[in-house]
Amino acid sequence: MPKIKMPRSSPSLDMTPMVDLAFLLVTFFILTSSFRAPEPVQVITPSSTSDKLMPENAVLITISDSGKVFFNINGSDVRIKVLEKMSQKYKIDFTKKEYEEFSGMASIGVGMKNLKKFINTEPAKREKFKSTGIPMDSLNNQLRDWIQAGWIEGMTKYKELKDQAKESGKTVQVEPLRFAIKADGKANYIVVKEVIKTFTDLRIFRFNLLTNFEQSKDE
Distances (CA, A) of 52 to 11, 57, 146, 151: 52, 14, 26, 22
For the bound state, the minimum distance from the C-beta of residue 44 to another protein, rounded and expressed in Å, comes to 9
Report whether 71 contacts 109 (CB < 8 A): yes
For the bound state, the minimum distance from the C-beta of residue 149 to another protein, rounded and expressed in Å, comes to 22
3-state secondary structure of 140: coil
For the bound state, the minimum distance from the C-beta of residue 48 to another protein, rounded and expressed in Å, comes to 4
What residues make contact with another protein under the rule CB under 8 A? 15, 18-19, 22-23, 25-26, 29-30, 32-33, 45-55, 63, 180, 182-190, 192-193, 196, 199-200, 205-213, 216, 218
| Number of Cα atoms under 13 Å in the Cβ half of residue 214 | 8
Q: Which residues contact 145 (CB under 8 A, 6 or more apart)?
A: 86, 89, 90
For the bound state, the minimum distance from the C-beta of residue 73 to another protein, rounded and expressed in Å, comes to 16
Measured from the CB atom, the residue of 115 and 191 that comes closer to another protein is: 191
Distances (CA, A) of 62 to 67, 193, 196: 9, 13, 12
For the bound state, the minimum distance from the C-beta of residue 20 to another protein, rounded and expressed in Å, comes to 10
What is d(CA 158, CA 162) in angstroms, rounded to the nearest whole number?
6
- Indicate the Cα dihedral angle 191, 107, 76, 60, nearest 10°: -30
Measured from the CB atom, the residue of 71 and 102 that comes closer to another protein is: 71
